[in-house]
Amino acid sequence: MFIYKCDLPTNNSLGEITQTLGITGVKKLVFQSNKNLSFALVKHHLDDFENLKSLSLTNNNVSYADKDLLAGLVNLTDLNLRDNNLHQVTGFFNYTPGLQFLELEDNALQSIEPGTFDNLKNLTFLNLSVNHLTDPRSGIFDELVALRELDLNTNDMVRLPEYIFAKLKNLDVLNLSENNFTNLPRNLLQNNTKLRNFTLFDNKRNMTTLPDAFFANLTKLEMLKLKRNGFVTLPEDLFWGCTSLININLEQNYLRTLPRYIFRDL
């Protein structure tokens, strides 16, 4: 069900309107008004969608949404909230334990409160890119035990806690591009043994180097995109033990030489 450039109903739910049109059992709803729906979109509007699995509310300029907005959507697996103006999402996902796909790109999030994602144990995809995250707290991703893809590119992050990704045992794809790092913790990825694709390019500050053995022994790692980060030197053991690595992009850094045995295990 696609609803574009329409105002929210005053007294009826969107579910009641679809039923009036003879449409029942809706599994996918896309509502895009292209207007400012902050404080206007409430739980009532999403009543009568018991079968809904996919919900898209993109480009509605929502800066605030009630914590119980999704309370009636017990079967929801895909949620797309990109291109809004959300400042916080604390408590917003308490009613959606079945979520597998969560899109939060291009909002106004400055921080993620502890516990925000703790109910999302089935989530496999999380996009937090193009927000204003600066200093994410340790533990915010710990309960995302099924997560396979995490995108944090184009934020304002200056540092990461050393074990912020440690509980993400199934993580396959990670993007940290276009942030403000000057360095990264040595053990940041040590527990992500299923990591296959890592992207870090166009960092907004020169990083000059990476920690010793930063990618070492990630035996599933295949793709590394590391261009335009201001690297001057790299440690010799950076890729040791990365026996599956097939593509490394280091273009447009400031590297003049590389250690003799940096590619020893490739």
Taking only the tens of pLDDT, the chain with its 266 residues reads 888 877 777 777 888 888 888 888 899 999 988 777 776 788 888 988 889 999 999 999 888 888 999 999 999 999 999 999 999 999 999 999 999 999 999 999 999 999 999 999 999 999 999 999 999 999 999 999 999 999 999 999 999 999 999 999 999 999 999 999 999 999 999 999 999 999 999 999 999 999 999 999 999 999 999 999 999 999 999 999 999 999 999 999 999 999 999 999 99
- 13 with 120, same domain: the answer is no
Tell me, yes or no, whether 86 and 125 share the same domain. no
Are 209 and 130 in the same domain?
yes
Residue 96: partners with Cβ closer than 8 Å, 6 or more residues away: 70, 73, 76, 79, 119, 120
At 19, list the tokens: 């039923």
Q: Assess whether 134 and 74 both reside in one domain.
A: no
Q: How many domains does the chain fold into?
A: 2
Which two three-digit tokens encode residue 125?
């995809």
Q: Is residue 104 part of a domain?
A: no
Domain final position from 58, 76, 97: 97
Inter-residue long-range contacts of 84-89, CB under 8 Å, 24+ positions, other chains counted: 84/57, 84/58, 84/59, 84/60, 85/38, 85/61, 86/62, 87/63, 88/113, 89/116
58 and 155 housed in the same domain: no
The pLDDT score that the predictor gives to residue 41 is 81
Judgement on whether residues 76 and 137 belong to the same structural domain of the protein: no
CA torsion sign for 228, 151, 179, 231 is negative
Residue 78 lies in a domain: yes
* Strand 2-4, strand 223-225: pairing: unpaired
Q: Same domain, yes or no, for 138 and 261?
A: yes
From residue 70, alpha-carbon distances to 58, 64, 111, 122, 177 in Å are: 15, 13, 21, 17, 31
| Residues 131 and 246 both lie in one domain | yes
User: Same domain, yes or no, for 45 and 133?
Assistant: no
Asked if 215 and 239 touch (Cβ cutoff 8 Å), the reply is yes
Q: State whether 150 and 250 are in the same domain.
A: yes
**126 assigned to some structural domain:** yes
Query: What are the φ and ψ backbone dihedral angles of 208, each rounded to 5 degrees?
Result: 65, -40
Q: Do 84 and 130 fall within a single domain?
A: no
Do 63 and 190 lie in a common domain?
no
Other CB atoms within 10 Å distance of the CB of residue 196: 16
The closest of 88, 125, 89, 84 to 105, measured between CA atoms, is 84
Residue pair 93/116 in contact (Cβ under 8 Å)? The answer is yes
pLDDT tens sequence across 1-58: 888 877 777 777 888 888 888 888 899 999 988 777 776 788 888 988 889 999 999 9
The answer to whether 171 and 148 have CB atoms below 8 angstroms apart is: yes
Q: Is 15 helix (H, G, I), strand (E, B) or coil?
A: helix
Domain residues for the domain of 44 are 1-97
- Phi, psi dihedrals of residue 33, rounded to the nearest 5°: -95, -25
Task: Give the pLDDT score at 99.
Answer: 98
Q: Are 86 and 110 in contact (CB under 8 A)?
A: no
Give a yes or no: residue 102 inside a domain: no
The per-residue pLDDT for 118 is 97
Q: For residue 198, what is the domain's CATH number?
A: 3.80.10.10
The 3-state DSSP class for residue 237 equals coil
